[in-house]
Amino acid sequence: MNNTMTLSGFMTGNNLKTLAGPILIIMILGMMVLPLPPFILDVLFTFNIALAIIVLMVSLYTKNPLEFAVFPTVLLITTLLRLSLNVASTRVVLLEGHTGPDAAGKVIEAFGHFLVGGNYAVGLVVFIILVVINFVVITKGAGRIAEVSARFTLDAMPGKQMAIDADLNAGLIGEEEARNRRTAISREADFFGSMDGASKFVRGDAIAGVLVMLITIVGGLVVGMLQHDLDLDTAARNYTLLTIGDGLVAQIPALIISTAAGLVVSRVTTEEDLGEQVLGQLFNQPQVLVITAGILGVMGLVPGMPHFVFLLLAGVLGSGAYWMNKNALTSAEEQSVTNTVVPVVEQQDASWNDVLPIDTLGLEVGYRLIPLVDKTQQGDLLKRINGIRRKFAQEIGFLPPVVHIRDNLELRPNAYQITLKGSVIGKGESYNGMYLAINPGRVSMTLPGTPTSDPAFGLPAVWIEASLRESAQSNGYTVVDASTVVTTHINHLIHMYTAELLGRQELQLLLDHLNAKSPKLIEDLIPKLLPLAALQKILQNLLSENVHIRDMRTIVDVLTEHASTTQDAAQLTAFVRIALGRAIVEQYFPADSELQIMGLHHELETILTQVVQSGGQEGGGIEPGLANMLLKEAVAAAKHQESLGLPVVLLVPGPIRSLLAHFLRRAVPQLRVLSHAEIPESRKIKITSVIGGKQ
């Protein structure tokens, strides 16, 4: 009972479909070695013709070549089927050909007698013509189209892949649709490549058909005359007619299959099948039909011409043109009536759709850098950029905008540029397949290559060939590939412009993420105590001085506590910095280590405090001579601090921290200004240099 259930479960529809392919191939190969009776040959020849017609019909109603992606395999199977039938029928012809014209079955007899009138000379000519048409015209043309299509499809793949990745990064499509589009592109390239090779099957089949026919005729004459004592005329009539019938019954399906192949590879992908395309594009111009009808009418009036046929066809074409023109006029009248009721809107009128949004972050590349973003060419730039965004979110506390990538033909082939809100913030060159050897200052040799500088940090560097990579590393160079050059540059710039990357949309996504975990935390602050714009300004103030916002719980707690007493963004930022003091200090000095930092002379502190009290928060109230002295000494102190291998950190009183941070930012970009209130009480402080002590 269990065995019966197992067998019945195995013989389901899906399993039968799975077994159909192997069984068919085994049967085809078996026909080449096993003798078949004439009746079975009739069935198989009829099946071969039916299969060819089915393939032709499918190709006619196919709108996209990929809808018939199995066609190269079908081409191979049908070719094998015809060849195996040729072998089986040849065996029967040679063994039983002396008995009469029906020795190999009724189908071969019909093709040998009724189609060519029993004249083997006519049959031979018809057979050769069919072979020439199939081999020289249809198969060769279809093979050439498949070859060119495969080449252009492969050349267009990088651009198509890049367009898909750009749409995915822009959020226009989802991951699933992008995956489906990439699969369709790969299948298209595989299809035309397979069709290019499969066309050789049909060409070989035509050659094999000619050789089999010649061998069968010669072999039949030898067998008939020597083994069966037939005279030359009888042997030639019997065996030649059987061979011609056998050849025709094989070549006609081959011609049909070749025609189907030509139709499939020559189709342009549309939403219409072949019949709709032909009728819609070939017979949609009434004036063309009128001119053709006129020419046929004139030819029909010429003496000696078959007047009835020419004039009949001219009348049909003229009637068709009249009917099409009448329908066009009726449609135009209906459109005119409609237009009198509904006012026409100019198609060229400008609209808000013409206003295109600017990408927050963008990467534009020259055409030689396209392989870096093409996954089919092992390009990993997209993966690395996603890794940069993930690491940025983990370090800074919010997810930066997507980097929209597109090609730019105006750039040099190996050039790229990085944009922020439509403005270029960085540019450089990267050479795919080469490596950038960066000189960190302690190299022991000069490398051959193209001298340049590191796009991110400006260090001297040289582009070298891949063969010099190990030599460069062993001589002290830092060696990176082309993708790393671009991603490092992007990473450096997004950290420089962190504050600008926190837009209203990014902030809302951050709050939604926080609200999902702690709903009441946000509800008590936004918008009851503080507007969203003020929160954005405070967070941008922190980010502009390299203070991460990962601890949003503490930030929200502090703002909730103080927002009821003040709405000033600078004061609220100062409160938040004090609460985040431990984390800020640990960015520059490890836990339990001594804080070796720079300080201000007490007289200079007093002067700057008076400037702040008089309203000079941004440094505009500092006297020019004092400002010049402050800048010079700050630069000197920063260089001394760097020479000691210490972070460039300046400790000042709280009221003047914001003033000095803004004033010294341009002159000493690496300088970080901390207030006394931000230093935890448990940390020890050591002043390495004093600014303003020389005044």
CA 210 to CA 198: how far, in whole Å? 20
SS3 content of the chain, % helix, strand, coil (to 5): 65, 10, 25
Phi, psi of 429 (to 5 degrees): -130, 145
Instruction: Report which of 173, 165, 177, 163 is spatially closest to residue 386, judged by C-alpha positions.
Output: 165
For strands 595-600 and 649-652, give the pairing: parallel
Instruction: State both tokens at 55.
Output: 């393939």
- Radius of gyration (C-alpha) of the chain in whole angstroms: 42
Spans in the chain with pLDDT lower than 70 = 1-18, 20-21, 97-105, 112-120, 123, 135, 139, 142-143, 146, 149-160, 162-163, 165-174, 196, 198-199, 202, 236-237, 267-284, 328-354, 615-621, 693-695
Superfamily of domain 361-497: FHIPEP family, domain 1 (3.40.30.60)
CA 204 to CA 197: how far, in whole Å? 11
Per-residue pLDDT, 7: 45
Per-residue pLDDT, 345: 46
Q: Indicate if the alpha-carbon torsion angle 555, 557, 559, 562 is positive or negative.
A: negative
Instruction: Report which of 507, 501, 494, 498 is spatially closest to residue 555, judged by C-alpha positions.
Output: 507
Fold observed for domain 592-695: Rossmann fold (3.40.50)
- Return the CATH number of 502-579, one of 3.40.190.10, 1.10.8.540, 1.10.1060.10, 3.10.129.10: 1.10.8.540
Burial of 467 (0-12, 13-18, 19+ CB in 10 A): exposed
496: which residues sit within 8 A by CB, 6+ positions away? 425
Other CB atoms within a 10 A radius of the CB of residue 158 amount to 19
Other CB atoms within a 10 A radius of the CB of residue 589 amount to 17
Phi, psi of 562 (to 5 degrees): -105, -15
**What DSSP assignment string belongs to 191-225?**
HHHHHHHHHHHHHHHHHHHHHHHHHHHHHHHHIII
Per-residue pLDDT, 24: 74
CA 12 to CA 32: how far, in whole Å? 30
CA 147 to CA 139: how far, in whole Å? 12
- Please answer whether residues 265 and 145 qualify as being in contact, where contact means their C-beta atoms are separated by less than 8 angstroms: yes
Instruction: State both tokens at 274.
Output: 């072949």
CA 515 to CA 82: how far, in whole Å? 71
Other CB atoms within a 10 A radius of the CB of residue 320 amount to 16
**What DSSP assignment string belongs to 369-436?**
GGGGG-GGGT--HHHHHHHHHHHHHHHHSSPPPPEEEEE-TTS-TTEEEEEETTEEEEEEE--TT-EE
Packing angle between helix 654-663 and helix 569-579, nearest 10 degrees?
110
Per-residue pLDDT, 15: 59
Long-range contacts of 387-394 (CB under 8 A, 24+ apart): 387/487, 388/487, 388/490, 388/491, 388/494, 391/491, 392/491, 392/494, 392/495
* Type of residue found at 155: D
CA 35 to CA 447: how far, in whole Å? 75
For strands 415-420 and 361-365, give the pairing: antiparallel
pLDDT tens figures, 508-563: 888 888 888 877 778 778 878 888 889 999 999 999 999 999 999 899 999 989 98
Other CB atoms within a 10 A radius of the CB of residue 661 amount to 20
CA 317 to CA 325: how far, in whole Å? 12
Instruction: State both tokens at 207.
Output: 């050659």
CA 147 to CA 145: how far, in whole Å? 5
- Please answer whether residues 400 and 357 qualify as being in contact, where contact means their C-beta atoms are separated by less than 8 angstroms: no
- Please answer whether residues 286 and 318 qualify as being in contact, where contact means their C-beta atoms are separated by less than 8 angstroms: no
Q: Phi/psi zone of residue 117: left (φ > 0), alpha (ψ -120 to 50 degrees), beta? A: left
* Type of residue found at 134: N
pLDDT tens figures, 246-289: 777 777 787 787 777 777 777 655 555 656 666 656 666 777 77
Per-residue pLDDT, 616: 55
Instruction: State both tokens at 248.
Output: 């025709």
Per-residue pLDDT, 452: 92
CA 314 to CA 319: how far, in whole Å? 9
Instruction: State both tokens at 686.
Output: 């050591």
